[in-house]
Structure 1
Amino acid sequence: MTTLPQTTSSRVDLAALADVVTPWAIRVAATLRLADHIAEGHTALPDLARAAGADPDALRRMLRVLTGRGVFAEPAEDTYALTPAAELLKDSGAFGLRAWYDLDGMGGRMDQAFGRLLDTVRTGEPAYPLVHGRSLWQDTLEDPELALSYADLMAAHTTFAAPEVVAAYTWPERGHVVDVGGGSGSLLTRLLTARPELRGTLLDLPQAAEEARRALAAAGLGERASVHPGSFFDPLPAGADLYLLTWVLHDWNDADALRILRRCAEAAADGGEILIVENLVTEGCRADVAAAMDLRLLVLFGGRERTPGQLDDLVGRAGLRVTGRRVTGTGIHLVSCAPAG
């Protein structure tokens, strides 16, 4: 039998990187809402198992793994407590991680696609349809609960990044912005709040558009914001001052991303501007994060994280030209474009 190289660091690092037990145990803990149950006082194993709807012996054995990893604590036998890591698994935890790990929601459903990563690497095609029988976009179109789960995940991500994006760009003080594929409206809400004389239109598929309508109204922006249910592959509302594409293009292969950009170019033909917000692949401290996201996008949608050069190529082929670039402190790229003619 072949053995690993005789260096402790190589052996330990590879074992840690290849571990599948801990990541899935964390996802099950998130799905069962163990952190919230413990926070509510269900700390003893029998009580915790009842609250979570779990088999006590199986739950104990899973928690043995997670306490050993420091995710939960066991101050007394079969009695559990939260650690700083477990606090992140509460519904109210930072970054919305519990929902991302929830195997009953879209976050966990996306993670399950990695079970067919081998097929993606062999064929270059997304694995999500192989695991779930239909594309992720079909899931969101045909299952309202999955559509809502996906919209909530995207909103949590955008809400976290929105202050940085809004601060990084010189937005018009007045005029009209179309948020193309704007999801449930978290970024547009932030932008219109920061620019009281700006008007906005959010365009997305009907389920997301309805969520955005409610969110914008709840923020008191109903008079300055409208929603346009529809697809960004169809003609967009024309004549706006700015068309915003926030983490839209990376969900699509080059052919589809080009179609989206061309729709923006058509709509902005009378002097409008297009702003693309993406995490582009560059050298630096976040290169590993971009690489992981690039693989995730391939597995889920057949999309990709592009380099600046790859994005510029798409921009040019869409009949646009780059007019400005900004990079935020966390590596978010803002690329402004205008019709080339």
Structure 2
Amino acid sequence: MKPVHACDHTAILAQGGGVFQSLLKTLLQLATGHDLPRCLHAVANLGVADALDNTSHPVAALAEATGSDPEVLDRVLRILASHGIFEFQDGRVAHTPESLLLRADHPGSMRSLVRMFGLSAFWASIGEPDYSIRAGKPYADKMILDGIWGYLSSDLDVSRIFGDAMTGKAHRHISGILEAYDFSAISTIMDIGGGRGHPRPHPFERLFGCRPRRGESWNNSGARRPGQDHQDGPAGNARF
């Protein structure tokens, strides 16, 4: 096959229908790519993964457990299964390692983080890249009039989803940070975080032998200092 210049439309078509169909497939996948994450958001919101235990179940049973339409849920789960999230076995649905992360009780759960990305204002903002390209500003500025923090504080359910997402994210990352980073040169650490902080044992206990309350800062002798609002600047010289 001869190389084709990017703008040589005639040569592209002349190489045969297979090549052209491949190009169409690429563009269509990108143009309709929003379908897949929206299916993932919906399944996370419905708690489908939590309704599915270690055995396979028919879609009808999952639909009944989550208050869903079985036919539509079947289509959504098949879309996700084609990308490794859930598995179909003889007309029944089973977990995969990926779908298990959508369970709320999984130690590495990503359910709240997935739900956060699907929040209405966040998703609407993602749909406005034209504004950002033209204005050179974040597209959230157009769609979220009160700003991200105003939006999050205006709705308790939204705020809870965001807090759970940030807490879960911290749980996944904090152990690696403690293993990789040398804290010996830091005099005071401020635990700002999101959500409700860490369950016991708190990772700071490994460094200081005790556990902070939200908003507190510690020095390297384990002494507590009153915390400040992180927007005004914390009392520590390092932040979590």
SS in 2 for 1:140: helix
* Contact 2:56–2:94 (Cα < 8 Å) also in 1: no
Amino acid at match of 2:152: T
RMSD: 3.8
1:91-240 aligned at under 5 Å gives the runs 91-93=104-106, 95-102=108-115, 106-109=116-119, 110-172=122-184, 176-179=188-191, 181-183=192-194, 184-186=196-198, 189-190=202-203, 192-196=204-208, 203=215, 225=224, 228=227, 230-232=229-231, 234=232, 236-237=234-235
Work out whether residues 49 and 55 of structure 1, in 8 Å CA contact, stay in contact via their aligned partners in 2.
yes
Matching of residues 1-341 of structure 1 within 5 Å: 6=19, 10-18=23-31, 19-39=33-53, 43-77=57-91, 79-93=92-106, 95-102=108-115, 106-109=116-119, 110-172=122-184, 176-179=188-191, 181-183=192-194, 184-186=196-198, 189-190=202-203, 192-196=204-208, 203=215, 225=224, 228=227, 230-232=229-231, 234=232, 236-237=234-235, 242-246=236-240
User: Counterparts of 1:8 and 1:94 in 2: how far apart (Å)?
Assistant: 43
CA distance in 1, matches of 2:125, 2:186: 44
> Do the aligned partners of 1:95 and 1:160 also contact (CA within 8 Å) in 2?
yes
Q: Deviations over 1:118-146 (max 9, x none)?
A: 22222222333544443111123333443
**Alignment partner, residue 285 of structure 1:** none
Q: What is the distance in 1 between the residues matched to 2:197 and 2:61?
A: 40
Aligned with 1:96: secondary structure?
coil
Deviation string for 1:38-77 (max 9, x for gaps)? 2276822332212111122222232332334442222233
Q: Which has the larger radius of gyration?
A: 2
CA distance in 2, matches of 1:85, 1:93: 11
> What is the letter of the counterpart of residue 244 of structure 1?
A
Task: Kindly indicate whether the alpha-carbon contact (under 8 Å) linking 1:201 and 1:228 is maintained by their aligned counterparts in 2.
Answer: no
Q: Secondary structure of the residue that 1:74 maps to in structure 2?
A: strand
CA distance in 2, matches of 1:51, 1:27: 17
Q: Read off the aligned partner of 2:193 and give its amino acid letter.
A: G
Contact 1:173 1:195 in 2 (8 A): no
* Structure 1 residue ranges without an equivalent (≥5): 204-208, 213-222, 247-341
Contact conserved, 1:72 with 1:86, CA < 8 A, in 2? Answer: yes
**In structure 1, how many angstroms separate the alpha carbons of the residues matched to 2:234 and 2:95?**
49
Residue-by-residue CA offset, 1:260-306 (whole Å, 9 max, x unaligned): xxxxxxxxxxxxxxxxxxxxxxxxxxxxxxxxxxxxxxxxxxxxxxx
Q: Is the 8 A contact 1:107 1:153 kept in 2?
A: no
Preserved contact between residue 113 and residue 164 of structure 2 (Cα < 8 Å): no
Query: For residues 80-104 of structure 1, what are the alpha-carbon distances to aligned partners after superposition, in whole Å with 9 as ceiling and x for unaligned?
Result: 22223322222234643221222xx
Q: Tell me the secondary structure at the aligned position of residue 127 of structure 2.
A: helix
Counterparts of 1:107 and 1:227, CA distance in 2: 33
Q: Aligned to 1:195, what secondary structure does the other structure show?
A: helix
Amino acid at match of 1:97: M
- Residues 227, 75 of structure 1: CA spacing in aligned structure 2 closer, same or farther, 3 A cutoff? farther
> Are residues 144 and 95 of structure 1, via their aligned partners in 2, closer, same or farther at CA, if it must alter by over 3 Å?
same
- After superposition, the Cα gap between the structure-2 partners of 1:178 and 1:7, relative to the gap in structure 1 and judged at 3 Å, is same
Amino acid across the alignment from 1:35:
A
When the two structures are superposed, what TM-score results if normalisation uses the length of structure 2? 0.70
Contact 2:125 2:143 in 1 (8 A): yes
- Asked if the contact 2:41/2:118 (under 8 Å) is kept, the reply is yes
Identity of aligned residues (%): 22
Distance between the aligned counterparts of 2:158 and 2:133, measured in 1? 26
| 1:149-194 deviations in Å (ceiling 9; x for gaps) | 2222222222222122223333249954334x4334449941x312
The one-letter code of the counterpart of 2:132 is T
Residues paired across the two proteins, number: 217
Q: Which runs of 5+ in 2 are unaligned?
A: 1-8, 14-18
